[in-house]
Amino acid sequence: MHRGRRGESARRLFARNPVLGPTAALVLAIVFFSLSTSTFFNIDNFSLIVQQSVVIGTLALGQTLIILTAGIDLANAAIAVFGTLLLTRLTLGGLPSAMAIVAGLVACTIAATVSGLLVTRIKLPPFIVTLGMLAVMTAVTNLYSTGTTFAVPNGTLTWLGNSLYLFGRVQFTMGMLLAALLFVVMWFVLSKTGWGRHVYAVGNEPEAARLTGIHIDRTLVSVYAVAGLIYGFAAWMALGRTPTADPNAYQTGNLDSITAVVIGGTSLFGGRGGVVGTVVGALIVAILRSGLTQMGIDSNYQNLATGVLVIAAVAFDQATRRRA
Amino acid sequence: MSTATQDDTARRSTAGQEPIMTGRGLVKRYGHVTAINGADFDLYPGEVLAIVGDNGAGKSSLIKALTGALTPDEGTITLDGKEVKFHSPLEARRQGIETVYQTLAVAPALDIASNLFLGRERRRGGILGSLRLLDKKAMRAAARDELNSLGIATIQDISQPVETLSGGQRQAVAVARAAMFGSKVVIMDEPTAALGVRETGQVLELIKRISGRGLPVVLISHDMPAVFEVSDRIHVHRLGRRTGVVDPARVSMSDVVSFITGAQEIPADVDVTNRAPDVTHQGGAP
């Protein structure tokens, strides 16, 4: 009975601080890999890990918003990949890069908004809507690219690949900084504004949200639109990371982003979690891959470990949410 | 059966007062089913009006008509003597009619203050307000004040998620929200249905406090002891319409049950349909 009570208070602690579990896992992973390999614990490696997480992390940021409303977006990476081709082809076609970027952001926003409208107007489950959008966007991208990979002209499109060196030593890419800025802005909006409150309420208990006068459909469509805008930024970041627009890139980006969100402690049932968890989740996945690679472990085992982690994260989420 | 004396009638100092809210000849049909069949409704200032009736008698439909959740096919609703037409719960709410739903309409993962202000968040002033920033501090303070003034002492931590509260405490949060924003009428749908004896007592205490502020309360309930404990008048609903309003001081619970089932007609001497209740308990007298 004594142990039961202690278990109860621990359960409550984790339930009220959903980032606690993922953060503990992150620290454990860092300690473990630092002890297991000689190459892991150094600032260049950490910088590299963050660079590797930027695109998936940003896709996961948009994904977080949608999962908070109890939805899911299977089309996010496909939308961003379309964005990379649009940016590149418009620029190659003679449009100023800045305008191409704006066009890309608008196009990604529109694509995700279409998902949102289908979810709210035709009342289709987000899973089905975005599964359809995934196929549509993949096809559109292939048609538009004629299946070819385009080299990205240096300049504004690849600007996010440029680096700053802090203390002449620690490498920050512009993409990292932009991703960090987007995370801070979204954290701020979700936790400090009425819109953020409504996103949580709509995901947690739509009926209560409706009865208290929150416009559920308007909130949902705006969530998909903001997520789409974020995917547009992810597209630009992807060009900074690898200066080619490849229609076959990021094919598992949707699932990788969901993995980061879920490992970060955001509940698939909506209304719980947030963007801080997603940062942690994205870093955990990247650290796991980097660490296991440096330990010389086959990438299939890395996938296996990620899979186990996803299941463990959801099981943990369920266990801490279970009502007493 | 009548236990009333002449004194009781004489004491009715507020008799002759106008109702704050009325319904006349309300009708709502769903295909062949008539959910509301020419129903009337009167609510006087400061009273607790219980609405009782069998399952399927049309209580919920009547309440939905009054709160804007459905629009009646026929009939008129007045508020403060003026005719009103509600096309959504939001419109009724804007007119000062607050409803405590049986489902409570709270988001379990959000904290108490967030739930009290859900959909009506307070924003910061100045530049921060134009950024649509929430004024969390003000909302927490107001939530705290409201809980205190309603005597809800069992809730310690205002930043606690609602899901960590007991059933009675959750009900209290929903009631506090209605009391906070309801300027004309508070309607409660089966507030004690899911509660134990002690928690029921606490909710009834809340109802008394709200009506003590002069805010009339409509209480839909099957819980006869609760109805008799707090209500000033009991509106009996049967077969889609009001069959009468009785004074709880002059009838027994079993009388009311037989009015509900139709086993007994409501005698004229206990019918207070057109009479304002005595609400001298206003101001917190026990």
Taking the domains of chain B in order of start, what are their residue ranges?
6-96+182-270
Chain B residues touching A272 at Cβ < 8 A: 109
Residues A241 and A227: their CA atoms lie apart, in Å, by: 21
Find chain B residues with C-beta within 8 A of A204's C-beta: 107-110
Q: Residue range A144-155: average pLDDT?
A: 93
Spatial contact of A158 and A239, defined as CB atoms under 8 Å apart: yes
Spell out the domains of chain A, with CATH numbers in brackets: 20-318 (1.10.3470)
Residues of chain A that touch chain B, judged by Cβ-Cβ distance less than 8 Å: 12, 15-16, 192-195, 197-198, 200-201, 204-205, 207-209, 211-214, 271-272, 323
The confidence score (pLDDT) of residue A5 equals 61
In three-state secondary structure terms, B119 is coil
B-chain CB neighbours of A211 within 8 Å are: 89, 99, 101, 105
Tokens of A244: 């080619």
Give the model confidence (pLDDT) of A240-278 as tens digits. 999 999 999 999 999 999 999 999 999 999 999 999 999
DSSP A74: S
On the 0-12 / 13-18 / 19+ scale of CB atoms within 10 A, A137 is: buried
d(Cα B78, Cα A319) in Å, to the nearest integer? 51
Indicate the pairing of strand A163-166 with strand A170-173.
antiparallel
ipTM beyond 0.85? Answer: no
What pLDDT was estimated at residue B2?
A: 45
Q: Which long-range contacts (CB under 8 A, 24 or more apart) does B61-66 make?
A: B61/B28, B61/B35, B61/B36, B61/B240, B62/B23, B62/B26, B62/B36, B62/B237, B63/B99, B63/B187, B63/B189, B63/B218, B63/B220, B65/B23, B65/B26, B65/B28, B65/B36, B66/B21, B66/B23, B66/B41, B66/B92, B66/B97, B66/B187, B66/B218
Question: Which of B119, B123, B163 lies at the smallest CB-CB distance from A212?
Answer: B119
Whose CA is closest to A277, among A63, A6, A44?
A: A63
What average pLDDT does the structure give for chain A? Answer: 92
Two structure tokens written together for A162: 């440029």
- Please indicate whether residue A153 or residue B11 has the higher confidence score (pLDDT): A153
Low-confidence stretches of chain B (pLDDT < 50) are 1-15, 282-286
- pTM above 0.80? yes
Write down the pLDDT at residue B8. Answer: 43
pLDDT digits (tens, 9 = 90+) for A106-141: 999 999 999 999 999 999 999 999 999 999 999 999
Question: In the predicted model, is pLDDT for residue A92 greater than 50?
Answer: yes
Distance from CA of A214 to the nearest CA of B (A): 5
For the stretch B77-90, pLDDT in tens is 999 999 999 998 88
Q: Which residue has the higher pLDDT, B153 or A51?
A: A51
Rg (CA), chain B: 19
Query: What's the pLDDT score for residue B269?
Result: 85
Q: Which residue of B has its CA nearest to A208?
A: B105
- Give the model's pLDDT for residue B195: 86
Q: Is the pLDDT assigned to residue A93 strictly greater than 90?
A: yes
**Superfamily of the domain at B6-96+182-270:** P-loop containing nucleotide triphosphate hydrolases (3.40.50.300)
Q: Band of the pLDDT at A303, cuts 50, 70, 90?
A: confident
- Mean pLDDT of the A40-69 span: 95
